[in-house]
Structure 1
Amino acid sequence: MTTSQLSVFFMIIYMLEFLIITGQSSLIVVALGRDWVQTQRLPPADMILISLGICRFCQLWSSMLYNFCSHFHPNYNFWYFGIIWEFTNILSFWLTSLLAVFYCVKVSFFSHPVFLWLKWRIVRWVPRLLLGSLLISCVSTIFPATSYYIDIQFIAMKHFPRNSTMLERLEAFLWDFSTLHKVVVLVIPFLLFLASTVLLMALLSRHLKQMKDLHTGCSNSSPEAHSAALRSLAIVLILFTFYFLTVLLSILDVLFNKESWFWAWEAIIYALVSIHSTLLMLSSVKLKRVLKARCWSLEAA
């Protein structure tokens, strides 16, 4: 199969992003896992980060295998790689929203009994919420797996003299319902992430304004820390929103349906994933310490 120069260019970028995200996910899992072994304790936020690192590692490998196998062997249907990608993509959305909810509940300073109860319970609930995210992702992948199987049966039935009009209607209905299902299972965790992040930004903004208006005797480091946290949250919100929109457009197959632009679209999607993973690493004190140690060792070498 011939490949255009434009496709080769974006394939190279895609592979570079693959290496970067693989290194990021491995560093998250290894660094936090080693700290877990040493201290015999794993904080809830680190649990979510490790789960997200493993999920994105699997998501990236399934994406690479599916894209390259489908590109060089277009006559075969590598549906099993597609199912793995569907599962890991849904799970990554739920884990990202869970991380946003966790930080929102922990940082919130509402005096309402519901928030106080959630703040007390959220730490204990994280393992159960992780298991719940896993189960929801598994259930959400049942229909795509069934859809892939039915598509294969439709392809086989086209070789037999049957009512082609009925088959086309069933295939169109299956496509529309499958697309709607894919959109719904991603919209729900995205809205949860959006609500939690916006609420957290509103809380930090109000607290920062109160500190500036009251002119308390606190040091200048506290307002600067709040401002830095707000900037980081804004960047994460924008990046994850763009990631959601790019995945949504890819599912709907609206824009870049040509072969050359497919690789460009994939490069854009995983560039956003790489930047988001970098911001998550910088938000963790342990991972920042590991990154600084690695940078110092490279400078010393």
Structure 2
Amino acid sequence: MGPIMSTGEMGTGHTALGCQTVDKTVIALFIILVLLCLVAVVGNGSIVVVLGMKWLLRRTLSAHNKLLISLAASRFFLQSVVIGKNIYVFLNPTVFPYNLVMLLINLMWDFLTAATIWFCSLLGFFYCVKIATLTYPVFVWLKYRVPGWVPWMLLSAVGMSSLSSILCFAGNYLIYSSFVKGAHQPRNATGNSLKRSLEKFYFFSVKVTMWTIPAVIFSIFMALLLVSLVRHLKKSLLASSGLQDVRAQAHAKALFTLLSFIILFSSCFLSLVLSSASDSPFQEFRYWIWQVVIHLCTVIHPLVMLLSNPGLRVAVKRGCC
């Protein structure tokens, strides 16, 4: 169903969409969201193309780049799904959120969101093991083992993401089935009660649990890496004349990149959790503001990766030229 213009008068701050008045701020947020997602698609797509070409030419890819291309690919497809979903709900603001189209869209969104969080967590774990100069025997052992584990780590992340999306799909389908059965009943109290219970308890519990596991792993290893980098930065500053020293500059740059990674990951995670806790209809302002906040974080990180990774930066410049 496309946008339908009503024949009645409307206020200056509203326009008609799907037989309902939509505030112009919602339209502005929708446009901002689509533009943010397009930037994210281009940024992540550039990373996928650069690393994919390297993989084809060299017939191999380092463990670090395998994690990067997996993360960029999951974000690329996630942002594409987000664009499609929000165009659909913008044109159909009163659509039943568990119809067949939304079932398929939400299945892809749940899988790709969980996969993105897991890949971020694995990338953080890899950074910690490879960069941190901790002398514990376990870390020394991991330094040599982790690169060989990366394919299995990625498969495990895909498996956990699939489990999360299947659990959410089962709940969504249960609501859809209840809605279809009670469609001809004027008062479907059982269906409405089931919908409220699943939205309030089941979906929130499943999503938060499946998102929190990789988030905790990420937090632990990022904290260890931060401690290691801060120690080395202090040593470099004491042994040199300040930030003019090359080693000190390298440590400061690594620390800045790491902090931006942590802040963006944490912001995105918290935004997703808070958004899942709130049940806002598609036509409400709150729904769109949450969408913009969540995807603002996912836009910035690929740009940080492109700017902080010399190989990616040079390859993208060559491609643009």
- Same structural fold, with TM-score higher than 0.5 when normalized by the shorter chain: yes
**2:44 and 2:75 in contact (8 A); partners too:** yes
- Partner of 2:50 in structure 1? 31
How far, CA to CA, are the matches of 1:281 and 1:44 in structure 2?
18
Q: Which amino acid aligns with 1:54?
A: A
Return the TM-score normalized by structure 2.
0.84
| 1:14 matched to 2:38 | no
How far, CA to CA, are the matches of 2:75 and 2:240 in structure 1?
44
| 1:111 matched to 2:135 | yes
CA pair 255-249 structure 1, distance change in 2 beyond 3 A: farther
How far, CA to CA, are the matches of 1:156 and 1:294 in structure 2?
51
Structure 1 range deviating more: 136-145 or 170-179: 170-179
How far, CA to CA, are the matches of 2:257 and 2:55 in structure 1?
26
How far, CA to CA, are the matches of 1:50 and 1:121 in structure 2?
20
| 1:129 matched to 2:153 | yes
Measured after TM superposition, the shift of residue 184 of structure 1 is: 0.9
Match of 1:48 among 64, 67, 71: 67
Q: Which amino acid aligns with 2:29?
A: F
How far, CA to CA, are the matches of 1:196 and 1:244 in structure 2?
16
| 1:291 matched to 2:311 | no
Local SS of the residue matching 2:269: helix
Structure 1 range deviating more: 130-139 or 157-166: 157-166
Q: Which amino acid aligns with 1:84?
A: M
Identity across the alignment (%): 29
**1:256 and 1:265 in contact (8 A); partners too:** no
**1:249 and 1:255 in contact (8 A); partners too:** no
- Partner of 1:267 in structure 2? 292
- Partner of 1:178 in structure 2? 203
User: Number of residue pairs matched?
Assistant: 294
CA pair 257-22 structure 1, distance change in 2 beyond 3 A: closer
- Over aligned residues, Cα RMSD in angstroms? 2.4
**1:7 and 1:261 in contact (8 A); partners too:** no
| 1:80 matched to 2:104 | yes
CA pair 191-257 structure 1, distance change in 2 beyond 3 A: farther
How far, CA to CA, are the matches of 1:65 and 1:163 in structure 2?
33
Measured after TM superposition, the shift of residue 256 of structure 1 is: 9.2
Between Structure 1 and Structure 2, the one with more helix by share is: 1
* Unaligned 5+ runs, structure 2: 1-17
**1:104 and 1:197 in contact (8 A); partners too:** yes
How far, CA to CA, are the matches of 2:281 and 2:230 in structure 1?
39
**2:280 and 2:286 in contact (8 A); partners too:** no
Measured after TM superposition, the shift of residue 237 of structure 1 is: 1.2
How far, CA to CA, are the matches of 1:154 and 1:183 in structure 2?
25
| 1:138 matched to 2:162 | yes
- Structure of higher RCO (CA pairs closer than 8 Å, 6+ residues apart): 1
- Partner of 2:179 in structure 1? 155
| 1:94 matched to 2:113 | no
How far, CA to CA, are the matches of 2:178 and 2:274 in structure 1?
25
- Partner of 1:3 in structure 2? 22
Structure 1 range deviating more: 261-270 or 182-191: 261-270
**1:24 and 1:278 in contact (8 A); partners too:** yes
What's the CA shift string for 1:93-117, capped at 9, x where partnerless?
A: 0000000000100012222221111
What's the CA shift string for 1:254-286, capped at 9, x where partnerless?
A: 789862332232122211111011112223232
* Unaligned 5+ runs, structure 1: none
**2:48 and 2:73 in contact (8 A); partners too:** yes
Return the TM-score normalized by structure 1.
0.89
Measured after TM superposition, the shift of residue 161 of structure 1 is: 6.0
How far, CA to CA, are the matches of 1:195 and 1:255 in structure 2?
33
- Partner of 1:236 in structure 2? 261
Structure 1 range deviating more: 24-33 or 161-170: 161-170
CA pair 20-91 structure 1, distance change in 2 beyond 3 A: same
Measured after TM superposition, the shift of residue 71 of structure 1 is: 2.8
Local SS of the residue matching 2:134: coil
Match of 2:246 among 217, 221, 245: 221
Local SS of the residue matching 1:3: strand
